[in-house]
Chain A
Amino acid sequence: MIDVLIIGAGITGSLIARKLSSYNLNVHVLDKENDVGNVTSMANSAIVHSGYDPVPGTKKAKFNVLGNSMYPKLCEELDVHFKMIGSLTVALYEEQLKLLENLAERSKENGVKVKLLSADEVRKLEPNISSEVKGALLAPTAGIVNPFTLTVHAMENAVDNGVCLHLNEEVIKIVKNGNFYNVVTKSNSYQAKVVINAAGVHSDQIHAMVEPIDYQITARKGEYFVLDHYKEGLVNHVIFPLPSEKGKGILVSPTTSGNYIVGPSSEINDDREDVSTDKLTLDEVKRQALDMVPSIPFNQAIRTFSGNRPTPSTHDFIIDFAKCDKHFINVSGIESPGLVSSPAIAEYVVNELVSQVLTLTKKESFNPYVRKRIDLAKLSYKERNELIKKDPNFGYVVCNCEKVTLGEILDELSRSVPPRSVKALKKRTRAGFGKCQGGFCQPLVIKALAKHFDIPCSEVPLDGPGSEICKFVTKGGNDK
């Protein structure tokens, strides 16, 4: 019998799993995708918000501020790139200065340290900002994080501490059966005492499998540009416009990988699974971003993408028991600022909710640290050579754009939440993430995956099952 079954291996589900793995519990996680963090947790702005923006008193405000303070330790334990670079919310018109002051007031209420800057002070910090700038709100505790490895490592740490992860498991039915839930997927069924619904854009649908619900989740699509490693200092902070009811607006920010990200738009999406992009929306993203930073080199764009925010009709995170039963816990509507809030949400869900229905006893063997990833860029010349001598694969560069070695790829494959697809490997290592987008290295990546899993190349998918690349052999070719 499973003690806790978590539906959804996004950042929230993964961090809840990790927290639960510190107790003596039998914990399982289901996700319909072929990798953890493959939907909203993958396609967002990757910003660790300071918390000046959410309405005071809401769950969003509470968990944002608390979550922000947990990030430095979390990212150290999980070996994730995180930089507290601060954010600047900029006013481009005189009349916006008043709004900045209101935001500063709100920050005080939320307990977030901020500072109002004059136009000159902003220009000193950000030489490329629009000459129209009239002032800005500096929030020094805002940061940027690698959202891919954050989710992967959170789940990896959970698995290292005993959690079972089941990918490609889409839940289709949940039945309460005496004192446990029977959770039915397309190919299996799982019996669990407690179910935690962390199903992101589908969390209202999952909730509705156990009782009638009085709210709904709407997918709100955000489209983005990713620019290449252009040069340092295009912007040094996360640059926001003033927020509106549609969200925090289109930001320009460095990423932890040395690229720049521009976006997101905000449109209601009827199809929750749809992550397409369109020209008109992206043109508008471009226009608004150029208003703030006129010199953004859009000819250095290497990728566009979109993600869906799970926007709840309640306007706040839904983190509570189901009305019918305390053994079904909803963690729903975790839209922005969800990424930053997730560690605080995980603590709350386990300490305040799960603890009411299960006895929590600490696991002596729990280790909060993941095995450190080898960061070649941080090694000295001598250390790197010693490593290559021990394992020559660390000398063989497979991805030329991002300088990813075969050693790093094989290390990822040896970890406890290994990548099963080209995309999953890309998220972990950046192989194929650069300017050529895998144009040169993709076949080598496929070969490495095929060899590791002992399958033919034809069975290696780009993402989920059905997305295989080496579908047919040429005349006289064979599928190795």
Chain B
Amino acid sequence: MIEKDLVIIGGGSAGMASALEAHNQGIKSILILEKNPYLGGILNQCIHNGFGLHEFNEELTGPEFMTRFSDLIEKNKIEYRLLSNVLSISEDKVVTYSNSYEGLVEIKAKAIILATGCYERSPGAIQIPGTRPSGVYTAGQAQLYLNCYGYLVGKRVFILGSGDIGLIMARRMTLEGAKVLGVAELMPYSAGLNRNIVQCLKDFDIPLYLSHTVKEVKGKEQLSKVVIAKVDEKFNFIPGTEIEFDADTLLLSVGLIPNCDLISKLDISFSKTRGANVTQDMETDVPGIFSAGNVLHVHDLVDYVVSEAKEAGRGAAKYLNGKLTHKGHVYSLKPGYGIGYVVPQRIFIEDAGEQIILKFRVTRPFKDINIFIKENDNLIKKIFKPAIIPSEMEIVKLDKSLFKSLDNTIDVYVEEKK
């Protein structure tokens, strides 16, 4: 059996960034496995700009952003296989993949980084009411047809969900000559970034219906109508608020879910994000198996995917160099009031570097709040936020010296001003 120090599953932004970081840390026996015929993952279909402001201090398109990384992969001669689909990972880190040119291959890896990204919540997953005609797509699926295959799936479009991909597609389809009739959002606030609401909807006079959702999809072979209605605070439809649209296309942008299929049968625990629970080094419950990027938790910006993936690359290098001891004081991180989740879920303080990075999201929009990060009576950090929304991920960098090992739990919670 072929052996590798580090096998990285997924050649998108997380996979490439973690490979480059592990390589920088001296790991030379690396293999990236990518299912598509190209590196870069989903960025290949994200032809809009807005990527790279944090990582490169400039605004790039998705393909430009990912090319910065794939060029470095080539330059550093990091090995990768395209059109190679990983079928399984075993507890003892045997990775089995399949492609047309090598066949079925088993590799014994010393460490693995899972960087398989996420998938879109489907119409079936949200139990969208009505018929199931042609013309209902997830926003990313429509984006794939449009940007990679040259097909416009429809000309009168309604969008359910104000996630970023849906907003981007509202603009994209408008530019291709389609009429976007509106965007409905179940919540009383948008799920997307503010900049996308402005640049993709307001600039094109596309109405956003907050606290609305699809009440019925109509049409037999082809979608003919979408009926939306307003919902109350318990998400029940309010009678008489129905609006009917003559639409041939309904796009769904109703959430992304980490794709953890490959590790779902291993002895690994998962968090509320539906990604694996990880340590400060992005290590899962199985020593030597790491996870980073959207397969861990869905990020708002690819720049943050990259920085997290670098942490995983460093973590894997530490593991391979015998520097992850899992000894000493260990913390569990507990999301409290107003906090949806915190990554990482555990911190081995002895293994941690000088800086510990916490990532979290709030459960709803807040104004003028303090966020507390505390272990027992020790206030590690208090952060004032004049405004905070769930669509933006919060990143906090903390000096290791702030942690006093007083308690096993670190609480992260919101305190509203009275």
B131 interfacial contact with A, CB 8 Å: yes
Do B120 and A439 touch across chains, with their CB atoms under 8 A apart? yes
A73 interfacial contact with B, CB 8 Å: no
Q: Give the residues in chain B near A305, CB-CB below 8 Å.
A: 124, 132
Within 8 A of B (CB), among A456-477: 457-458, 461-477
A464–B220 CA distance with the chains assembled, in angstroms: 9
Give residues in A with beta carbon < 8 Å to B.
Answer: 225-226, 231, 273-279, 282, 301-305, 381, 384-385, 388-389, 392-397, 400-401, 403, 405-406, 435-440, 442-443, 457-458, 461-479
A225–B124 CA distance with the chains assembled, in angstroms: 8
Do A231 and B148 touch across chains, with their CB atoms under 8 A apart? no
Q: How far is the CB of B39 from chain A (nearest CB, A)?
A: 16
Do B132 and A474 touch across chains, with their CB atoms under 8 A apart? no
Q: Give the residues in chain B near A474, CB-CB below 8 Å.
A: 146, 150-152, 176
Q: How far is the CB of B248 from chain A (nearest CB, A)?
A: 8
Select which of B102, B144, B152, B248 is within 8 A of A395 by beta carbon. B102
Q: Give the residues in chain A near B146, CB-CB below 8 Å.
A: 474
Q: How far is the CB of B390 from chain A (nearest CB, A)?
A: 18
Do B124 and A437 touch across chains, with their CB atoms under 8 A apart? yes
Do B122 and A439 touch across chains, with their CB atoms under 8 A apart? yes
Known A-B contacts A302-B124, A381-B104; A405 and B150 likewise in contact (beta carbons under 8 Å):
no
A16–B402 CA distance with the chains assembled, in angstroms: 77
Within 8 A of A (CB), among B86-139: 87, 98-104, 106, 119-120, 122-125, 127, 129-134, 138
Q: Mark B135-159, 1 if CB is under 8 A from A, else 0.
A: 0001011001110111111110000
Cβ contacts A to B, 9 pairs, < 8 Å: A277-B127, A277-B130, A304-B127, A395-B104, A397-B98, A400-B35, A437-B122, A443-B144, A470-B151
Do B177 and A475 touch across chains, with their CB atoms under 8 A apart? yes
Do A389 and B150 touch across chains, with their CB atoms under 8 A apart? no
Select which of A442, A467, A473 is within 8 A of B133 by beta carbon. A467
- Residue on A with the closest CB to B223? A467
Q: Give the residues in chain A near B216, CB-CB below 8 Å.
A: 276, 278
- Residue on A with the closest CB to B88? A403
Q: Give the residues in chain B near A472, CB-CB below 8 Å.
A: 151-155
B321 interfacial contact with A, CB 8 Å: no
A279–B129 CA distance with the chains assembled, in angstroms: 6
Q: Mark B165-190, 1 if CB is under 8 A from A, else 0.
A: 00000000000110000000000000
Q: A389-B103, A439-B120, A461-B221 are in contact. List 6 more A-B contacts (CB 8 A).
A: A226-B124, A303-B125, A397-B35, A397-B85, A439-B141, A479-B151
- Residue on B with the closest CB to A380? B104
Do B85 and A273 touch across chains, with their CB atoms under 8 A apart? no
Known A-B contacts A276-B129, A395-B104; A440 and B144 likewise in contact (beta carbons under 8 Å):
yes
Do A435 and B155 touch across chains, with their CB atoms under 8 A apart? no
Select which of A276, A438, A479 is within 8 A of B130 by beta carbon. A276
A233–B241 CA distance with the chains assembled, in angstroms: 44
Do A466 and B104 touch across chains, with their CB atoms under 8 A apart? no
Max chain B C-beta neighbours (<10 A), residue from A225, A440, A479 = A440
Select which of B85, B99, B120, B176 is within 8 A of A475 by beta carbon. B176
B59 interfacial contact with A, CB 8 Å: no
- Residue on B with the closest CB to A406? B100
A282–B127 CA distance with the chains assembled, in angstroms: 8
Do B141 and A442 touch across chains, with their CB atoms under 8 A apart? yes
Q: Give the residues in chain A near B149, CB-CB below 8 Å.
A: 443, 457, 470, 477
Q: Give the residues in chain A near B150, CB-CB below 8 Å.
A: 473-474, 476-478
B323 interfacial contact with A, CB 8 Å: no
Within 8 A of A (CB), among B22-43: 35
Q: Give the residues in chain A near B123, CB-CB below 8 Å.
A: 437
Do B153 and A469 touch across chains, with their CB atoms under 8 A apart? yes
A279–B145 CA distance with the chains assembled, in angstroms: 30
Q: Give the residues in chain B near A475, CB-CB below 8 Å.
A: 176-177
Q: Give the residues in chain A near B100, CB-CB below 8 Å.
A: 388, 392-396, 406
B206 interfacial contact with A, CB 8 Å: no
Q: How far is the CB of B106 from chain A (nearest CB, A)?
A: 7
Do B127 and A465 touch across chains, with their CB atoms under 8 A apart? no
Known A-B contacts A231-B265, A397-B98, A443-B144; A471 and B153 likewise in contact (beta carbons under 8 Å):
yes
Max chain B C-beta neighbours (<10 A), residue from A276, A302, A457, A473 = A276
Do B98 and A279 touch across chains, with their CB atoms under 8 A apart? no
Do B103 and A385 touch across chains, with their CB atoms under 8 A apart? yes
Q: How far is the CB of B125 from chain A (nearest CB, A)?
A: 6
A276–B133 CA distance with the chains assembled, in angstroms: 10
Known A-B contacts A302-B125, A439-B140, A465-B221; A395 and B151 likewise in contact (beta carbons under 8 Å):
no
- Residue on A with the closest CB to B147? A474
Do A471 and B154 touch across chains, with their CB atoms under 8 A apart? yes
Do B264 and A436 touch across chains, with their CB atoms under 8 A apart? no
Q: Give the residues in chain A near B129, CB-CB below 8 Å.
A: 276-279
B222 interfacial contact with A, CB 8 Å: yes
A388–B259 CA distance with the chains assembled, in angstroms: 27
Known A-B contacts A273-B220, A440-B144, A472-B151; A388 and B122 likewise in contact (beta carbons under 8 Å):
no
Known A-B contacts A466-B222, A467-B221, A478-B150; A301 and B134 likewise in contact (beta carbons under 8 Å):
no
Q: Give the residues in chain B near A225, CB-CB below 8 Å.
A: 127
Do A405 and B153 touch across chains, with their CB atoms under 8 A apart? no
B83 interfacial contact with A, CB 8 Å: yes
Q: Give the residues in chain B near A393, CB-CB below 8 Å.
A: 100
A395–B132 CA distance with the chains assembled, in angstroms: 32
Q: Give the residues in chain A near B98, CB-CB below 8 Å.
A: 388, 395-397, 405
Q: Give the residues in chain B near A400, CB-CB below 8 Å.
A: 35, 85
Do B87 and A403 touch across chains, with their CB atoms under 8 A apart? yes
Do A440 and B130 touch across chains, with their CB atoms under 8 A apart? no
A175–B138 CA distance with the chains assembled, in angstroms: 47
A462–B120 CA distance with the chains assembled, in angstroms: 19
B55 interfacial contact with A, CB 8 Å: no
Q: Which 9 A-B pairs have the closest CB atoms?
A: A477-B150, A303-B124, A397-B85, A467-B134, A392-B100, A466-B221, A437-B122, A462-B134, A467-B221
A225–B100 CA distance with the chains assembled, in angstroms: 35
Q: Mark B299-331, 1 if CB is under 8 A from A, else 0.
A: 000000000000000000000000000000000
Q: How far is the CB of B253 from chain A (nearest CB, A)?
A: 12
- Residue on A with the closest CB to B87? A403
Do B85 and A276 touch across chains, with their CB atoms under 8 A apart? no
A278–B257 CA distance with the chains assembled, in angstroms: 24
A437–B98 CA distance with the chains assembled, in angstroms: 22
Do A467 and B35 touch across chains, with their CB atoms under 8 A apart? no
Known A-B contacts A277-B129, A470-B145; A395 and B120 likewise in contact (beta carbons under 8 Å):
no
A67–B237 CA distance with the chains assembled, in angstroms: 46
Do A464 and B127 touch across chains, with their CB atoms under 8 A apart? no
Do B127 and A473 touch across chains, with their CB atoms under 8 A apart? no
Q: Give the residues in chain A near B151, CB-CB below 8 Å.
A: 443, 457-458, 469-474, 477, 479
Known A-B contacts A395-B99, A475-B177, A477-B151; A301 and B127 likewise in contact (beta carbons under 8 Å):
yes
Do A435 and B130 touch across chains, with their CB atoms under 8 A apart? no
- Residue on A with the closest CB to B83? A396
